[in-house]
Amino acid sequence: MAAKRFIFLIAGATLAAAFSASAAWAAPFAYITNQKDDSVSVIDTADGEVRATLKVGKEPAGVAVSRDGGRVVVTNAGGGSITLIDGRNLQVAGEIATAEGQVGVAIDAAGRFAYVADWYGGAVSVVDLENRAIVRRLPTGSVPAGLVLAPGGSRLYVANRDDDAIAEMNPESGETLRTVKVGKHPFGIALDPAGELLFSANVESDDVSIVEVRTLSVIATVKVGERPYAVAYVAPYQRLFVTNQYDNTVSVVDVARRRVVDTIAVGEYPEGIALHPDGIHLYVANWFDNTVSVINGLSLKVERTIATGNGSRAFGEFIGGV
C-alpha cells in the first residue's frame, strides 16, 4: 500500500509539474526591445516581473510575437539582422542576416513567416522562420515603417513614411494593390480584429487617420498629442490608444465619435504599445524612462510601472501567448 501511495504521489507531482510548466508558457509574456543595451526584457504579465533579459543583436527596435507565443522575432536596426527567440523556453534561438535599418515586423498566424520592413531598401523581406532564410523581397514605397497583416494573411498593409501613404499588398505576389494618402509620416499602424478599419499614427501631422479598408479611404482624421508613434485598438469599447512621444502621454480616441476622450500620462517618450490578450490592459514602452507603463483600458489609469532595460522601444505586437 505504501509503495502504491508513493507511486501515486510521484505521478501526481509529475502531472502537477507538467501543468505548471504548461501554464507558465501559456502565461502572456511581453517582449520589450531595449535599443541602447542590445537586449530584450521579458515581462511575465501575470505578475509584472521581468523573467529574463536576453542579449540580441545591435540596437533592437521592432518585435513581433506569434499568436501562440512560441516564436518571437526582433529586428536589430543597427545590426542588419533579426533575432529569433523561443517563447517556450525564453531563450535566443538564432539570428538571421537581413538588412540594416529594419524596424517594423509582423508574423503570420501560423508563425512560419516574418515580414520585415527594410527602412533604407524600400522593401519588405519575407523570412522563412523554419529554414531561417529570406525567401522574397517585396518592393514598397519610400521608407517603410510599421506593417500589419490582415486577418487570414491575404493582405499586408505597410506604412510608407516618406510617401505619407499606406500600401495594401498581396504578400504572396508582392504586388501593391492599392494605396491611400494619410497624414504626414505615418509610422505605427493597426487593424481592427475584423479587418474593416485601419489606424495610422502620423508622426509629423500630430494626428491619426482612420481608414475604411473596403474602399481604402480615410473616413476621419483625429488630432492627438505631439509626435504620435504607435497605436493599439480595443475593439469591444471602440477605443484607440495612441502613444505621443513628445507629450509623454497616450491619447484615447473614441473611434465611433472620432474624437479624443482622455489623455493618460505615462513615462518619458512613449513608443511601442500593445494590447494584452485579456482585452483590457495596454502596455506602453517608454524609451527615455527605461520602463513600461501598464494602463487599464477601462479605468484609463496607469496601474503599474515596470523597470526594463536601457532605451525601451518595443515597436510592434510585442505580447503573445494566451
| Phi, psi of 125, rounded to the nearest 5 degrees | -85, 130
CB atoms near residue 80 (< 10 Å): 15
CB atoms near residue 153 (< 10 Å): 16
Domain residue ranges in the chain: 26-320
Per-residue pLDDT band for 101 (boundaries 50, 70, 90) equals confident
Mean pLDDT of 127-143: 96
CB 92 within 8 A of CB 57: no
pLDDT in tens, 13-37: 333 333 333 334 446 999 999 999 9
Alpha-carbon Rg of the chain, whole angstroms?
A: 20
Residue 237 in grid coordinates: 469599447
pLDDT in tens, 295-305: 999 999 999 99
Sign of CA dihedral 40, 82, 209, 239: negative
| Residue appearing with cell numbers 505580447 | 319
pLDDT in tens, 212-265: 999 999 999 999 999 999 999 999 999 999 999 999 999 999 999 999 999 999
pLDDT in tens, 58-79: 999 999 999 899 999 999 999 9
pLDDT in tens, 157-205: 999 999 999 999 999 999 999 999 999 999 999 999 999 999 999 999 9
**Residue 27's pLDDT is what?**
67
CB 265 within 8 A of CB 286: no
| Residue appearing with cell numbers 497583416 | 149
Per-residue pLDDT band for 322 (boundaries 50, 70, 90) equals low
Say if pTM beats, i.e. exceeds, 0.95.
no
**Residue 1's pLDDT is what?**
40
Per-residue pLDDT band for 6 (boundaries 50, 70, 90) equals very low
Q: How many angstroms separate the CA atoms of 115 and 169, rounded?
A: 12
Sign of CA dihedral 99, 131, 70, 201: positive
CATH for 26-320, options being 2.130.10.10, 2.60.40.10, 3.40.50.2300, 3.40.50.300: 2.130.10.10
**Residue 290's pLDDT is what?**
98
Per-residue pLDDT band for 12 (boundaries 50, 70, 90) equals very low
| Phi, psi of 120, rounded to the nearest 5 degrees | -90, -25
Write down the mean pLDDT value for the chain. 91
